[in-house]
Amino acid sequence: MSRSITLGQYMPGESLIHQLNPRVKILALLMMLAVMFIVQTFYALIFLLLFAVLLLASSGVPFSYFLRGIRPILYIALFALVIYFFFTRGGVVLLRIGFITVESDGVREGLFVVTRLVALVLYSLLLTLTTTPLSLTHGMGYFLKPLKYIGLPTDEVAMIMSIALRFIPTLMEESQRLMRAQLSRGADFESGSIFRKAKSLVPLIVPLFISAFRRADELALAMEARGFRLGARRTRLHEDIIAPRDWAVLVFVAATLAAALVLNI
Amino acid sequence: MKNRPEIAIETRKLAYHYPGEENISSPAVYGINLSVKRGEYVSLIGPNGSGKTTLLKLFNALLAPTDGEVLVEGISTTEEESQTEIRRNCGMIFQNPDNQLVATTVEEDIAFGLENLELPSPEIRKRVNRVAGELGLEHLLKHPPHLLSGGEKGRVAIAGILAMQPSCILMDEPTAMLDSKSRQDVLGAVRRLNREQGLAVVHVTHFPEEAARADRVVILHQGRLIEQGPPALVLNNLQLLHQLGLQGTASSELAALLRTDGFSIPQEILNCQELVQSLCSSELKN
Amino acid sequence: MFIGTEKLSHIYMPGTPYATKALEEVSFSLDRGDFALLIGPSGSGKSTLIQHLNGLLKPSGGKVIFEDRELGSDSVDLLALRKRIGLVFQMAEEHFFSETVYDEVAFAPRNLGLDEVKVEQNVKLALERVGLEWEVVHDRHPFQLSSGQKRLVALAAVLSLQPEVLILDEPTAGLDPGGRLHLFALLKSLNQQAGLTVLVCTHHMDEVADLADSVLVLNRGKVIMSGPAHDIFARRQEFNKLGLSLPEVTEVMHCLAAAGLPARTDIYSLEQARAEINSLKRRLEK
C-alpha cells in the first residue's frame, strides 16, 4: 500500500543533473530565472526553451512528467494569451470580427509571455524532478545559514524538516488504513451536515494523534539510543562538496546571465 | 580493545518504577540480578507486560534505575558522561522498525548513528557499505524507508546499530510483524554476527522456537526474574511456562505429552530433529 | 458462492510509472460456515484482497461476490455489506478513540443507526462472545487494559455489528503465547458455535493450522494454491519454496516419515500428533 504514496516529484536517476550539488542547482536556477526575465527577443527565449528541453532529455526523467508538471499552468497560459490577443493594440490588424480585433503586437507579446512562463516552469521542474526533497531542504538550508547569527537554530530546523519528510508518507499511509478500519466499523465520513461531518472525524483524529505521539516518543528514544544529542556537533555521510562539474555549471550559467545583460538580446 | 571485561551487561538488584504509577508495590522491574557475557545470546521471554521492554531500556541507559544499577562494559548507566558510549556499545532494535528509521534514505539512516559519533565522511561511507553488505542491503541504499518491506526495514534498523560497532545488541520483538522468510533473514543475520564477531545479543521474543536458539533463556514475570538457564532446561519446564501463560516449543510440548503416554523421551527436547531422533532411536525402532 | 472473488485484479496508482499490480486474476470462494486461512509472504496482496471483500477497495478488474451477487458500489449497499462482513484490521486496538470500552464497542452499532437499547444489547453480546465480563470492563478506559484484553475489545468492536463473516488480518501480532491460544480458541468457538464464516490472514501457522477447513496461498498477487487444508498442507515442498512454514508438529511428522516410518503427515495439532505417534507405535509393535 505504501507504494501508492510518493512525496515531492523526485524521479531517481544518475544523470549529470541528478548528481549536481543541490546548492549549485538552486543557485543556477535562480540565475536562469533572471536570464529569462532579462532577455527581450523571441529568438533568445526560444533558444532558452530549447535548451531546457535538451536538459530535460539528458536528465532521463520521462517526458510525461514534465507535461504533467506544466498542466496546472496551462489555464493561466491560456488566460494570458486571450488577454494579450484581444486587448493589446498595435501593429497590423490580423482579425476583425465585429468589435473584436486581434492585432499583431498582441499576438507577439502574448506568445512571448507564455513561452517565458513555460520555460520558467520547465527549469523549475528540472530542479524538483532531479533533486530529492531532502537535498532540496539541505540546499535551501545552506542559503538560510546566515540566519544562525540572529539566533535561528538552522541545524535543528534541517533535522526537523528531514524527519518530517521521512514520516509524511508513513503517516499518510496510516491515516488511509485508519480510515478504512473505521469504515469497516460502519463509519460514514461523507454524509450529513458540516457539524456531523466534523464529529465523524473524531474516530480518525484521536487515534492518529495518539499514534503520532507514540511514534514521536519512540523515534526520540531511538535517536537517543543511537547517540543523537540536541545541539551536539555531527558529521555528514554526504559531504557537501562542490565538485569541478558544479563549478563548470556555475560558470556557464553566470556567463549566460552576463551575456543576456550585456548583449541586450 | 584490550582489557575488555568478560561481562557485557550486568545488573545488581535492579529496580524501576515508572513515574506517576501510583502502585509503588508493583514496580515495572524489581530485584533483577542478571549478567550477559560477551558474545552470549540471551532470550528474554515472559507474558505481555512482564517488564521485558523496560529492562532493555534500562540496559541502554534510556531509563535510569530507581534502585540498584546497570553496568555496561563495567560502566554504570547513571553516569551522564558515559551515556553516549554506553548507547554505542549496546545498540537497541525497537519493536516497530518504522519508528526507528530516522532518515529519508537507507544509507543516510545507517549513517545516522555514525554522524552522531562525528566520524569523518569517508569512514562513515566505508562502514555503511560494509554493514549494508553484511545484511544484504546494497541494492537498497538509495531507497526511502517507507518503500521497504517489513523484513528489509528490520534489517536496516539492525544495520544502523551494527555500523556503530556495538559489543551487544538489544532486540525487542524484532520479528512480531514479519513473515517467516523475513524472520529467518533478520534472525539469521543476527545469529551469524553473534557467532562470527562475538556480538552479545539480548532478544525479547514471544516465540518459543526463537528462544530455543539462544544460549540462555531468561523468564520475566511481573517484573521479576523467575527462571533462567539453557533453553533445553527452561523451555522444558512446561509446568512453570503454562502457569505463566507461556508455551514450550511445539516439539517440547509434544515430547511432554508423549512422555505421559509412557514414551521414554529425554527431558531436553527443543526442536523437531531432536524429537524425531529420539523417537526413532528408541520407541519407533523397526 | 457465499463469498469469494472471480478473476479479481487490483492495480495501485494505475497509469503512472509507480503502478503496481497488487492482485492478478484472483479467484476463490468460501462456503458459509468455513474456517479459512489466507497465507503468503508479506507483499503478496493479502491485505489488498481482504479489503476488497467488504468493499473498501474497488476492483481494477474482475469481481467480488457475496451470496451469488456481485458487489455494487452504492454506498447504502456498502454499509449493509460491512454490517454482514466484519473486517478486523491488524493491531486494531491502535484505532481506539473512545473513553470507555462500552463506547468503543458501541461505535459500530451506533453507526448502523440502532437505538440505544439495541446498541447496548449488541455491546453486551459482543463482549460476552469474546469472553470479557461486562461488569469488569464496560466502563473502563480501553488503554488501561492489558494487550490481550485490548485485542479482544478490538474484536468485540467488530462483532458488535453482528456480522456473518469475520475476516481478521494477523489477529495475534504482538500477543504472548497465552494470548494467541486464547484468541484462536475464541475464533474456533465463533466459527463452530455461532456459525460465523471466518477468514484469517496470518504468518504464524502453529496455533491455527488445525482449525482451518480451507487454505488460500497468495504470492505476488496471484493464487498459488487453494483448496481443502489437508491438500494444501501436504504440499510442503512448495510451501518451503515460498518461504512459508508449516506448523512445527507437522514438520515432526514429516521428519518421521522421512526417517522411513509409516507416519501420517496430515497432522496439525499437538493432540493429533500425540494420537498418531501412539498409534504408530502400536502399528509398529504388531
Considering Cα of A250, then A251, then A256, then A262, what sign does the dihedral take? positive
Helix (H) or strand (E) holding B225: strand B224-229
- Residue B196 gets the label, from left (phi > 0), alpha (psi -120 to 50) or beta, of alpha
A53 and A169 both lie in a single domain: no
A99 and A197 both lie in a single domain: no
Judge whether residue C81 has pLDDT over 60. yes
- Which of A17-31, B21-35, C267-281 shows the lowest per-residue confidence on average (mean pLDDT)? B21-35
- What is the rounded average pLDDT of the residues C43-68? 91
pLDDT bin (cut points 50, 70, 90) of residue C162 is very high
Q: How many CB atoms within 10 Å of residue A243?
A: 12
Longest dimension (CA), chain C: 68
A217 and A245 both lie in a single domain: no
C274 and C177 both lie in a single domain: no
Considering Cα of B59, then B64, then B66, then B69, what sign does the dihedral take? positive
Q: Do C89 and A4 touch (CB under 8 A)?
A: no
Per-residue model confidence (pLDDT) at position C34: 94
**Contact between residue B219 and residue B226 where contact means Cβ atoms under 8 Å apart:** yes
A157 and A86 both lie in a single domain: no
Whether A26 maps to a domain, the answer reads: yes
C124 and C203 both lie in a single domain: yes
What percent of chain A has pLDDT above 90? 19
Which residues, 6+ apart, have CB-to-CB distance to C119 below 8 Å? C106, C109, C110
Q: How many whole angstroms separate alpha carbon B64 and alpha carbon B69?
A: 8
Per-residue model confidence (pLDDT) at position A260: 86
Of A6, A203, A211, the CB nearest to C107: A203
- Residue B39 gets the label, from left (phi > 0), alpha (psi -120 to 50) or beta, of left
Domain that holds residue C266: 247-286
Judge whether residue B196 has pLDDT over 70. yes
How close A215 gets to chain C, by Cα (Å)?
Answer: 12
Higher pLDDT, B5 or B65: B65
Judge whether residue B189 has pLDDT over 90. no
Domains of chain B (ranges, CATH numbers): 7-230 (3.40.50.300)
Q: Do B108 and A227 touch (CB under 8 A)?
A: no
Helix (H) or strand (E) holding A106: helix A104-130
C60: three-class secondary structure by DSSP: coil
Q: How many whole angstroms separate alpha carbon B6 and alpha carbon A74?
A: 71
Which cell is C176 given?
Answer: 504472548
Unique residue bearing C-alpha cell 528408541: B282
Q: Does B257 touch chain C (CB under 8 A)?
A: yes
A6 and A126 both lie in a single domain: yes
What percent of chain B has pLDDT above 90? 55
Judge whether residue B22 has pLDDT over 70. no
pLDDT bin (cut points 50, 70, 90) of residue B25 is low
Q: Give A205's contacts in chain C (Cβ within 8 Å).
A: 97
**Contact between residue B244 and residue B46 where contact means Cβ atoms under 8 Å apart:** yes
pLDDT digits (tens, 9 = 90+) for A142-171: 888 888 788 878 778 888 888 888 888 888
Q: Name the residue among A107, A35, A120 with its Cα closest to residue A73.
A: A120
C96 and C79 both lie in a single domain: yes
- What is the rounded average pLDDT of the residues C234-255? 88
Whether A163 maps to a domain, the answer reads: yes
Whether A23 maps to a domain, the answer reads: yes
Q: Tell me the residue type at C245.
A: S
Whether A148 maps to a domain, the answer reads: no
Q: Give C244's contacts in chain B (Cβ within 8 Å).
A: 179-181
A217 and A253 both lie in a single domain: no
pLDDT digits (tens, 9 = 90+) for B146-184: 888 888 888 899 999 999 999 999 999 888 778 888 888
Per-residue model confidence (pLDDT) at position B179: 81
Per-residue model confidence (pLDDT) at position B286: 55
What percent of chain C has pLDDT above 90? 62
- Residue A202 gets the label, from left (phi > 0), alpha (psi -120 to 50) or beta, of alpha
Q: Give A1's contacts in chain C (Cβ within 8 Å).
A: 12, 47-48
Whether A27 maps to a domain, the answer reads: yes
pLDDT digits (tens, 9 = 90+) for C121-157: 999 999 999 999 999 999 999 998 988 999 999 999 9
Q: Give A236's contacts in chain B (Cβ within 8 Å).
A: 111, 115, 121, 124
A123 and A11 both lie in a single domain: yes
Longest dimension (CA), chain A: 77
What number of C-beta contacts closer than 8 Å exist between A and C? 66
Give the angle C99-C104-C106 at the CA atoms, nearest 5°: 125
C120 and C204 both lie in a single domain: yes
- What is the rounded average pLDDT of the residues B212-234? 95
A120 and A249 both lie in a single domain: yes
Q: Give B43's contacts in chain C (Cβ within 8 Å).
A: none
Per-residue model confidence (pLDDT) at position A4: 39
User: How many domains are contained in chain C?
Assistant: 2
C142 and C19 both lie in a single domain: yes
Judge whether residue A7 has pLDDT over 70. no
A104 and A9 both lie in a single domain: yes
B29: three-class secondary structure by DSSP: strand
Per-residue model confidence (pLDDT) at position A5: 42
Distance linking the first and last C-alpha atoms of chain C? 48
A108 and A169 both lie in a single domain: no
Domain that holds residue A208: 153-225
- Which of A236-250, B10-24, B244-258 shows the lowest per-residue confidence on average (mean pLDDT)? B10-24
Q: How many whole angstroms separate alpha carbon B223 and alpha carbon C75?
A: 50
The DSSP output letter for C54 is T
C137 and C260 both lie in a single domain: no
Judge whether residue B1 has pLDDT over 50. no
User: CA A7 → CA A18, A108, A172, distances in Å?
Assistant: 17, 39, 10
Whether A138 maps to a domain, the answer reads: no
C234 and C251 both lie in a single domain: no
User: How many domains are contained in chain A?
Assistant: 2
Q: Does A62 touch chain C (CB under 8 A)?
A: yes
Q: Give C274's contacts in chain B (Cβ within 8 Å).
A: 254, 257-258, 261
A116 and A165 both lie in a single domain: no
C147 and C58 both lie in a single domain: yes
Q: How many CB atoms within 10 Å of residue B67?
A: 14
Q: Tell me the residue type at C80.
A: A
Q: How many whole angstroms separate alpha carbon B168 and alpha carbon B189?
A: 14
Unique residue bearing C-alpha cell 526417517: C259
Q: Does B102 touch chain C (CB under 8 A)?
A: no
Per-residue model confidence (pLDDT) at position A68: 78
C53 and C124 both lie in a single domain: yes
Per-residue model confidence (pLDDT) at position C153: 96
Judge whether residue B24 has pLDDT over 70. no
Per-residue model confidence (pLDDT) at position B129: 94
Chain C's closest residue to A11, CA to CA, is C17
**Contact between residue B125 and residue A239 where contact means Cβ atoms under 8 Å apart:** no
Q: Do B113 and A227 touch (CB under 8 A)?
A: yes
Per-residue model confidence (pLDDT) at position B150: 80
Of C146, C177, C255, the CB nearest to B273: C255
The whole-angstrom distance between residue C126's C-alpha and the CA centroid of its chain comes to 18
Per-residue model confidence (pLDDT) at position B2: 44
C251 and C234 both lie in a single domain: no
- What is the rounded average pLDDT of the residues A210-218? 91
Whether A113 maps to a domain, the answer reads: yes
Per-residue model confidence (pLDDT) at position B243: 93
Whether A217 maps to a domain, the answer reads: yes
A146-160, C63-77, C163-177: range with highest mean pLDDT: C163-177
Instruction: Give the A window 171-230 contacts with C, CB below 8 Å.
Output: 177-178, 180-188, 190, 202-203, 205-207, 210-211
A105 and A212 both lie in a single domain: no
